[in-house]
Amino acid sequence: MEPVIRTKNLTKHYGNTPVLRNLDLTITAGEFTAVMGPSGSGKSTLMNVLSTIDRFSGGEVWVKEQSLLDLNKNELRRFRQEHVGFIFQDYNLLDTLTVKENILLPLSLRGFKTGEMEARLGPLVSALQIGEVLERYPHEISGGQKQRASSARALITKPDIVFADEPTGALDSRSATQLLEQLAQLNGSFGTTILMVTHDSYAASYCQRVIFLRDGSVVNELYAGGQSRKTFYERILDTQSMLGGQAG
């Protein structure tokens, strides 16, 4: 599979403090990958850099073989709109729009015709099981439904990669499990590449690959392969323990 993201000697400093240190990483098309690590490990910074939200200090980053060093601020914004989707912990839904209007907003802003928007909406509504809430407003639905709506909004543009920032962090266990199962299904059915930052071993166990960061460097990686999710979950826990305890 071709790489969606590549980094070489990636570094990021805040003042004199190094947050990412000479990090080499490849995310291939169709992967569902988790990034884990303790507080201060650099996992959120890595996501912000890879998603073009934040600039890096050194090294190189390629997204879809496009070097981010070659893009100015306006080009980065346009590139982000066309190639990247986001799922946030706090949903970021607009209260004045219905669920359907929130999901379709990225396409509306880009001038898509109604027919094309509806064609893209249908499969996502079915996969994420949100048909009954499309005409409701965010304050009228549950946290789990909000996060599934947020996921649909991220996916409706058919991005090359979706970045999920602690997507289960504000959900109860039942809603979290439902969301993770649906993201795994979308990854399998549509081949959507997903990079998820999480502190939760249970959430990470739904991924195909887990990257562990410490002090801004990759210190370990696990691949699910053909093992059961339960076995993979136990391996993630063991690795966290070996690396210094539960990630935060």
65-96 tens-digit pLDDT: 899 999 998 999 888 888 899 998 888 899 99
Average pLDDT on 104-117 reads 94
Residues with Cβ < 8 Å from 9, sequence gap 6 or more?
22, 23, 24, 58, 59, 60
Question: Which of 205, 160, 170, 2 lies closest to 88, judged by CA?
Answer: 170
Model confidence, pTM? 0.90
Instruction: Note the pLDDT of residue 247.
Output: 42
CB of 231 closer than 8 Å to CB of 239 = no
Q: State the Cα–Cα distance between residues 184 and 177, nearest whole angstrom.
A: 11
Average pLDDT on 22-26 reads 95
Residues with Cβ < 8 Å from 44, sequence gap 6 or more?
165, 197
Question: Which of 109, 106, 107, 51 lies closest to 80, judged by CA?
Answer: 51
Is 248 a residue whose pLDDT tops 70?
no
What's the pLDDT band for 242 if we cut at 50, 70, 90?
A: confident
Is 246 a residue whose pLDDT tops 70?
no
Torsion of CA 224, 228, 233, 235, to 10 degrees: -60
Mean confidence (pLDDT) of the chain: 92
* Tokens at 165, concatenated: 């920032």
- Which percentage of the chain shows pLDDT scores above 90? 81
